Amino acid sequence: MADNSDHGDVVLRFLSSIGRPAEAQQYLDLFRSEHPERFAIVHVADAVVRHAADALAVELRYLVELGLEPVLAFGAIEPRSAGRSAERLAQALGPVASRRCPADASEVTAACRDNAIPLVTFEREDGGADARFDAIADLAGALGTRRIVFVTRRSGLVPPGGRAISIIDLTTERDGWLTAGALPSEPQKLLRQIARVIDRVPHRMTVSVTSPLDLLRELFTVKGAGTLIRKGSLITRHLGWDGVDKPRLLGLVEESFGRALIPGYDQRPVLAVYVADEYRGAAIVSPAPLAPYLSKFAVGTVSRGEGVGRDLWRAMEAQFPRLFWRSRADNPITSWYRENCDGMVRFHLGGDAWWVLWRGLAPLEIPLAIEHCQALPPDFG
């Protein structure tokens, strides 16, 4: 249980080994700060119970030891065996308390508050899968659930011949992935239902599809493991500081980088400021003699790994085909930058290794980009 600090330590060490220690702790703090019943609904596919109940039970026990009780759901995909699957998983959980509950928010909440994992079955056959997934959405809506995880045998939705998709943005990619042949039929059916659930739940929520062995990695790392499905962010573009809520923007940047900006940063000229809904993330592009310079790219710690950065990036690259920026060599985002730049060069500044990265620059301009990055005044104090 949560008060068993020895176990808690073991679990935290385990989480650190799959991600970055600070990341695991940050998610843990976030999950624990929420109402316990909002933590997650974990829908378990029949095949997972049949073939990997014990492996999943180990991961669920870890969660319970951290003080987190997910709501376990069964049957949305295969209703007939829902009751049996719930029983079987309860057995696999061993001494961990679990309780069968109807899909009723107050009963589920009571179980979570008693530190018991609620087991909810969705067995309705009238109305078909639509009605069952709607019932999950309604439970999530009533509980205020922050994430739903579909645990399937494969980790994520996998297109034919490809590897698991990392993020699906329903705002821009829904039609593409729901086109016949884009995904094999079962994952495509699941995606269609997931889109339906996200549309029906009134609050912000993410849904992911992952395997039992990747469940903790999905929950506790920014990068996640499996496929994350979400609605795209609303990106607002300001062509200058006008209209920007400066304290919120500067607060976001400072929180993201964990450092204080120098006084006067917000007096410097800007070409554009992109803000993702409710200041969850932002990109600041400033003028430079060579080409537009990406001065800040930041997403608040609680919103990372959900695709907000990608949404900002798309909006920005559409307007700035020529762009350059710099990044510390040890920044984990470098591997993603590598795929999204035309080129990158490593340089040193005051003993630290950096990359200068660019899009749309001519080869002869690259030394100028490096020079610019080396000569920039510090942004943080």
Ligand X SMILES: CC(C)(COP(=O)(O)OP(=O)(O)OC[C@H]1O[C@@H](n2cnc3c(N)ncnc32)[C@H](O)[C@@H]1OP(=O)(O)O)[C@@H](O)C(=O)NCCC(=O)NCCS
Binding footprint of ligand X on the chain (CB under 6 A): 166-167, 222-223, 256-257, 281, 297-299, 304-310, 327, 331-333, 335-336
Residue type at 283 in one-letter notation: A
Nearer to ligand X, 240 or 332 (CB): 332
Query: 85 vs 206, which CB is nearer to ligand X?
Result: 206
The torsion angles phi and psi of 298, rounded to 5 degrees, stand at: -145, 140
State the minimum distance, in angstroms, from the CB of residue 355 to ligand X: 9
What is the token pair recorded at 191?
Answer: 């995606």
Question: What's the closest the beta carbon of residue 220 comes to ligand X, in angstroms?
Answer: 12
Q: How far is the CB of 224 from ligand X (least distance, A)?
A: 7
**Closest residue by beta carbon to ligand X:** 309
Residue closer to ligand X, measured from CB, 147 or 304: 304
Residue 82 beta carbon to ligand X: minimum distance, rounded to whole angstroms: 33
Give the amino acid at 220.
F
Q: Residues 72, 86: contact at Cβ < 8 Å?
A: yes
Three-state DSSP at 319 gives helix
Q: Kindly report the backbone phi and psi dihedral angles of residue 314, in degrees, each rounded to the nearest multiple of 5, phi listed first.
A: -60, -45
Identify which of residues 139 and 244 has a Cβ nearer to ligand X in the complex: 244
Nearer to ligand X, 95 or 258 (CB): 258
Within 10 Å of residue 81's Cβ, how many Cβ atoms? 18
263, amino acid identity: P
CA–CA separation, 354 vs 348, rounded Å? 6
Q: Which two tokens stand for residue 215?
A: 């469940």
What's the chain's length in residues? 381
Alpha-carbon span 165 to 159, nearest angstrom? 8
Q: Shortest Cβ distance from residue 378 to ligand X (Å)?
A: 14
User: Which is closer to ligand X, CB of 166 or CB of 374?
Assistant: 166
